[in-house]
């Protein structure tokens, strides 16, 4: 067969497969064009999920009549006046592909009017371009796309139901609206209004899009380093989601789904979020345009950072600061923080004193079994300096029931609470120079596939109170374990740690990796549900919780205690 050049129509249809694979992509491209044109208000109307019709109207600077024909040509763009700018993109579009691609596979009608000029229209149907005609219309641009993929029926088969396509299109619009709070957005689907966003400040726009619940539970994130800045809101540990869909990331005003940033979120929240749950966040990253390459993905929803590890490390640090973790000094500076977020009951505790006093954290629980509950409650009032109150009984060998000074009942999950305390204790030791190791009477050989990774990390692990070395292929020899943990089985603990080291990756500061590793250790060294506790042990646990920051959630982000006040009782008993 002889070689021949493809016709422009065919080339555009092929390109269209990448740029406009579904209505959401059409909405995204057209709205981005409107934003690039400086629009203050953008109106979107969809029919049949956008498959039948997508209309995008803006009040931007418009396209002069003489350029209208060029606008729908392939590789025609006004956004790269100099080609050298390709490496410092300041607009959302720059490839000159959207309009010709849409025109190749649908019926496109582009009407535009510059301020002080007349309106003109050009249409492209299945790649066939009409002559530019005078038209009528307000200043700005109006793009209507009918019958998506009518010209390429094979592609049409890949579309999902109008409902699913409509949802995806609205989602694409929401993501752009989040990135551009100063612009007003309206959207309707089959005549029904779905979005109506007035121009707003960033936080107000976040609340409009992610909900008042999120905004109320969210923590401000802010950070700046070497020309890079991060700002936004991150959900508190109690605000979790079953998937990562409510993680909104905006880089230089471009909504992106960047795996690097997703990992950063996962690592930052690991100790305060249960496995399988996801944080919600709206984060805005600004960095010099030449630090990011947006030209790696046809739809520009993924990008490449020139210094990816640095960006990831910075994002993790900013998030962890927002969450109330100290960073940069071993396990964190636990003496200078207070509870950075509210647990189920908004108590605030005095700062902990990890190296003074006879707290629970100082004295591991005696392992002896103790007399069964319930206890006799003394008649003296509960001292007000103990907000978690006096232990009354152990329930189901899992929970501690206590009476608070204000008469509320407090229910503490003994494992969750102890895990948090162990965690804090380990962090404090780490901060004070390293976690104390307890040599094993007999070194233990543990076989596991990631043995080499652990052996490589041996110096790091020594700071965690874990002394080990490689022991042939696929095994390590453990000589000492962190003293605080008692004597847990080393095998599951090492498997967890190996996984942790693998996930957090090389680029993350040592301090952060250790911090995350500590959370894993804590889980292995804590009293389990099902252990009977003596009255003194229960009270010691309550006192230690009061002294400990972040005591309201366990290392996995579940609450450690619940509080029922008199008002709740009155309501439950129908007294109010
Ligand atoms: P790109 O956005 O990559 O430049 P497009 O095919 O999306 O390519 O658009 C081509 C050109 O048409 C743009 O560079 C811009 O000059 C013009 N244009 C498209 N949409 C609009 C709009 N809504 N308002 C003003 N100009 C527009
Ligand atoms: Mg464009």
DSSP SS3 for 431: helix
Residue 272 binned pLDDT confidence (cut-offs 50, 70, 90): confident
Identify the H or E element spanning 320. Answer: helix 308-322
Q: Which two tokens stand for residue 476?
A: 């390590």
Residue 29 binned pLDDT confidence (cut-offs 50, 70, 90): very high
Spatial neighbors of 564 by CB under 8 A, at least 6 apart, are 408, 409, 410, 411
| Closest ligand 1 atom, residue 77 Cα | 14
| Closest ligand 1 atom, residue 141 Cα | 23
- pLDDT over 70 at 326, yes or no: no
Distance CA 466, CA 459 (A): 9
pLDDT tens-place string over residues 212-231 = 888 888 999 998 887 889 99
Q: Which two tokens stand for residue 96?
A: 């000159």
User: How is residue 290 annotated by DSSP?
Assistant: G
DSSP SS3 for 409: strand
Phi-psi region of 396 (alpha: psi -120 to 50; beta: other; left: phi over 0): left
Q: What DSSP letter does each residue of 170-221 carry, written as one string? A: HHHHHHHHHH-TTSEEEEEETTEEEEEE----HHHHHHHHH-HHHHHHEEEE
**What backbone phi and psi angles, to 5 degrees, belong to 179?**
-75, -20
The overall average pLDDT reported for the chain is 81
Phi-psi region of 402 (alpha: psi -120 to 50; beta: other; left: phi over 0): beta
Spatial neighbors of 462 by CB under 8 A, at least 6 apart, are 434, 437
Identify the H or E element spanning 46. Answer: strand 41-47
What is the pLDDT at residue 508? 56
Q: Which ligand is nearest to the CA of 80?
A: 1
Question: Residues near ligand 1 with C-beta < 6 Å?
Answer: 29, 33-34, 37, 58, 60-63, 71, 76-79, 93-99, 141
Nearest CA to ligand 1 atom 16: 78
Q: How far, in Å, from the CA of 126 to the mean position of ligand 2?
A: 19
Residue in the block written with tokens 């503490």: 412
Q: Which ligand is nearest to the CA of 139?
A: 1
Q: How far, in Å, from the CA of 63 to the mean position of ligand 2?
A: 13
What is the pLDDT at residue 98? 92
Q: Which two tokens stand for residue 37?
A: 């044109």
Nearest CA to ligand 1 atom 20: 33
Nearest CA to ligand 1 atom 19: 33
Nearest CA to ligand 1 atom 8: 96
- pLDDT over 90 at 35, yes or no: yes
What is the pLDDT at residue 378? 55
What is the pLDDT at residue 553? 74
Give the residue among 244, 245, 257 at the shortest CA–CA distance from 300: 257
Q: How far, in Å, from the CA of 71 to the mean position of ligand 1?
A: 6
The length of the chain in residues reads: 576
Sign of the alpha-carbon dihedral angle for 310, 311, 316, 321: positive
Q: How far, in Å, from the CA of 96 to the mean position of ligand 1?
A: 7
pLDDT tens-place string over residues 482-509 = 888 877 788 878 887 887 777 665 555 5
Query: Considering the chain, what percentage of its residues have pLDDT values greater than 70?
Result: 85
Distance CA 75, CA 324 (A): 49
pLDDT tens-place string over residues 55-109 = 999 999 999 999 999 999 888 888 877 766 666 777 888 778 899 999 999 999 9
Spatial neighbors of 177 by CB under 8 A, at least 6 apart, are 183, 185, 195, 197, 205, 209
| Closest ligand 1 atom, residue 92 Cα | 2
Nearest CA to ligand 1 atom 18: 33
Domains and CATH numbers, the chain: 8-197 (3.30.565.10), 202-322 (3.30.230.10), 365-576 (3.30.1370.100)
- pLDDT over 80 at 343, yes or no: no
SS (HEC) of 401-450:
EEECCCCCEEEEEHHHHHHHHHHHHHHHHHHCCCCCEEEEEEEEEEECCC
Spatial neighbors of 340 by CB under 8 A, at least 6 apart, are 219, 322, 323, 324, 325, 549, 550
Distance CA 403, CA 374 (A): 13
Distance CA 396, CA 390 (A): 18
Q: How far, in Å, from the CA of 36 to the mean position of ligand 2?
A: 8
Question: Averaged over 412-425, what is the pLDDT?
Answer: 86
């Amino acid at each position: 067969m002889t070689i021949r050049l493809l016709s422009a129509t065919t080339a555009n249809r092929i390109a269209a497969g990448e740029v406009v694979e579904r209505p959401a992509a059409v909405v995204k491209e057209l709205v981005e064009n409107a934003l690039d044109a400086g629009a203050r208000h953008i109106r979107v109307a969809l029919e049949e999920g956008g498959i039948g019709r997508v209309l995008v109207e803006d009040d931007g600077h418009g396209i002069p009549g003489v350029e209208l024909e060029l606008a729908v040509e392939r590789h025609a763009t006004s956004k790269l006046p100099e080609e050298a700018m390709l490496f410092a993109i300041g607009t959302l579009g720059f490839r000159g592909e959207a309009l010709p691609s849409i025109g190749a596979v649908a019926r496109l009608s582009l009407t535009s009017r510059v301020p002080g000029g007349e309106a003109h229209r050009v249409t492209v149907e299945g790649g066939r371009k009409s002559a530019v005609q005078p038209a009528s219309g307000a200043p700005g641009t109006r793009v209507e796309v009918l019958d998506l993929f009518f010209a390429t029926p094979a592609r049409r088969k890949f579309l999902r139901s109008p409902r699913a396509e409509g949802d995806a299109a609205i989602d694409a619009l929401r993501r752009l609206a989040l990135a551009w709070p100063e612009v007003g957005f309206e959207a309707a689907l089959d005549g029904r209004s779905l979005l109506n966003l007035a121009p707003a400040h960033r936080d107000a726009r976040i609340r409009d899009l992610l909900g008042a619940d999120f905004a109320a539970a969210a923590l401000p994130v802010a950070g700046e380093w070497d020309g890079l800045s991060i700002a936004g809101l991150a959900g508190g540990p109690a605000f979790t989601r079953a998937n990562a869909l409510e993680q909104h990331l905006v880089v230089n005003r471009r909504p992106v789904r960047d795996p690097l940033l997703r990992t950063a979120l996962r690592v930052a929240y690991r100790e305060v979020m249960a496995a399988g749950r996801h944080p919600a966040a709206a984060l805005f990253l600004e960095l010099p345009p030449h630090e990011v390459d947006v030209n790696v993905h046809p739809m520009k929803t993924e990008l490449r950072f020139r210094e990816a590890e640095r960006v990831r490390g910075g994002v993790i640090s900013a998030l962890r600061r927002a969450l109330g973790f100290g960073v940069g000094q071993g396990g964190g500076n636990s003496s200078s923080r207070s509870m950075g977020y509210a647990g189920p009951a908004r108590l605030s505790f005095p700062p902990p004193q990890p190296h003074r006093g006879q707290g629970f954290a100082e004295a591991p629980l005696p392992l002896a079994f103790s007399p069964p509950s319930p206890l006799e409650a003394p008649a003296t009032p509960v001292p007000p300096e103990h907000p978690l109150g006096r232990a009354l009984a152990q329930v189901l060998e899992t929970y501690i029931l206590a009476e608070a000074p204000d008469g509320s009942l407090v229910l503490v999950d003994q494992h969750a609470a102890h895990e948090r305390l162990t965690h804090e204790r380990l962090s404090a030791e780490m901060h004070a120079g390293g976690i104390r190791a307890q040599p094993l009477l007999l070194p233990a050989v543990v076989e596991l596939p990631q043995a080499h990774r652990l052996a490589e990390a041996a110096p790091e692990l020594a700071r965690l109170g874990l002394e080990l070395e490689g022991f042939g292929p696929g095994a390590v020899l453990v000589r000492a374990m962190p003293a605080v943990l008692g004597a847990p089985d080393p095998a599951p603990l090492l498997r967890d740690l190996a996984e942790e080291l693998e996930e957090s990756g090389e680029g993350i500061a040592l301090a952060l990796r250790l911090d995350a590793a500590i959370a894993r250790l804590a889980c292995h060294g804590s009293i389990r549900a099902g252990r009977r506790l003596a009255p003194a042990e229960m009270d010691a646990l309550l006192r230690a919780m009061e002294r400990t920051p972040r005591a309201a959630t366990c290392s996995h982000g579940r609450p450690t205690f619940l509080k029922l006040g008199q008002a709740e009782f009155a309501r439950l008993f129908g007294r109010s």
